[in-house]
Amino acid sequence: MSDEQTDTGTGWPQPAGPARPGGPAGEPDPRPDAPDPDELSPLAPQGPAEREPVDEPAVEPVDDGATVDLSAVPRSGEPVAGSDGLGEPVGESAAPAAGRSRWSTAGVMIAALLALLGFTLVVQLKTTSTDPTLGATRQEDLVRILSDLDARENRLQQDIRALEDSQRQLRSGEQGRQAALDEATRRADELGILAGTLPAVGPGLTVRFDAGAKPISANRVLDAVQELRGAGAEAMQISGGDGASVRIIASTYFLDGDNGSLVVEGRRLTAPFTITVIGDPATMRTALNIPGGVVASVRGVGGNVTFGEREVAEVSALHVPIKLEHARPVS
């Protein structure tokens, strides 16, 4: 061995070099800031005090006689409570199950909303399509119809107040007999006008039907009479081109005759036909001019309908009183 190498005791030669400032090997370095030789060696073992502390979970002692609750052990797919207090799924099947649950709830809510929307649309369609005739009516006609209905309501309210006044007078004592007689007379006159046994005068309207390519049918005249009654007509009569007139009451019937004539109550009338009616002229005119009504039907077959307002219309044709055979007043 060369004198430039020293024996390290490990069998490997160590080259000779300058001696460490500390003196001979194995002696401490006298410098105050000299490092510890043990720290310079990577093979130097570390003692218990030099190891870094490691947090280890505390192990609680288990009682040999204690029993373990197997039901508390989570199975695959069941949630395990985490540090945040929320359940975390165990296993890979927990996420798809939660997704199916969320989708099923959303599907039920969507289906319910769609069903509600469909029901609302059906109700709206039924509401708007209930009366197609009024739906096609102009705004001015609707306003006039509403005004006519209000006027009719006012008349009915007046009739109610008049009847209530009559009732109070009948119960007032000495004036009861005279009030009863006046009331009976008024009621007899009204019933006579309705039955066609008494003539009537008042504001009204004349409605004339002129035939076109086709004659005026009995159905068209009957529709006009029904519309006039619904508009508040109180007395009516129909006249033919020959001047003959027939009183129209509740039991009046209409039939088609020969050569465009009309049979009313068994009497033949020739065209053109004129209906004289007593009532509110504006209301009755509006009723006949409703889109799709009498005027539109007559003009659709080439005929024509003309109106004439009368401040004083006279219904002079009389009807033979009907003799009752079966009906009796209730006592």
**How confident is the model over 282-311, as pLDDT tens digits?**
999 999 999 889 999 999 888 999 999 999
Residues 47-52: contacts with CB within 8 Å, 24+ apart? Answer: none
Task: Give yes or no for a contact between 221 and 273, defined as CB atoms under 8 angstroms apart.
Answer: yes
Query: What does the alpha-carbon distance between residue 204 and residue 201 come to, in Å, rounded to a whole number?
Result: 9
Model pLDDT, residue 127? 62
Name which residue leads in pLDDT, 130 or 120. 120
Rounded to the nearest integer, the mean pLDDT of the chain is 75
Q: Which band of pLDDT confidence, cut at 50, 70 and 90, is reported for residue 218?
A: very high
- 270 CB burial (10 A radius; 0-12, 13-18, 19+): middle
Q: Check whether 30 has a pLDDT greater than 60.
A: no
Model pLDDT, residue 36? 57
Sign of CA dihedral 144, 148, 150, 154: positive
**φ, ψ at 125 (rounded to 5°):** -65, -40
Q: Which band of pLDDT confidence, cut at 50, 70 and 90, is reported for residue 47?
A: very low
Task: Give yes or no for a contact between 208 and 273, defined as CB atoms under 8 angstroms apart.
Answer: yes
Name which residue leads in pLDDT, 236 or 170. 236
Q: Check whether 317 has a pLDDT greater than 80.
A: yes
* Backbone Cα Rg of the chain: 56
Model pLDDT, residue 38? 53
∠ CA(197), CA(170), CA(179), 5° rounding?
50
Total Cβ atoms within 10 A of residue 241: 13
pLDDT tens per residue across span 234-289: 999 999 998 899 999 999 999 999 988 999 999 999 999 999 999 999 999 999 99
Q: What is the mean pLDDT of residues 128-138?
A: 62
- 143 CB burial (10 A radius; 0-12, 13-18, 19+): exposed
Structure token digits, residue 72: 């508390």
List CB contacts of 63: < 8 A, sequence separation 6 or more.
Answer: none
Structure token digits, residue 246: 């027939």
Query: What does the alpha-carbon distance between residue 116 and residue 128 come to, in Å, rounded to a whole number?
Result: 18
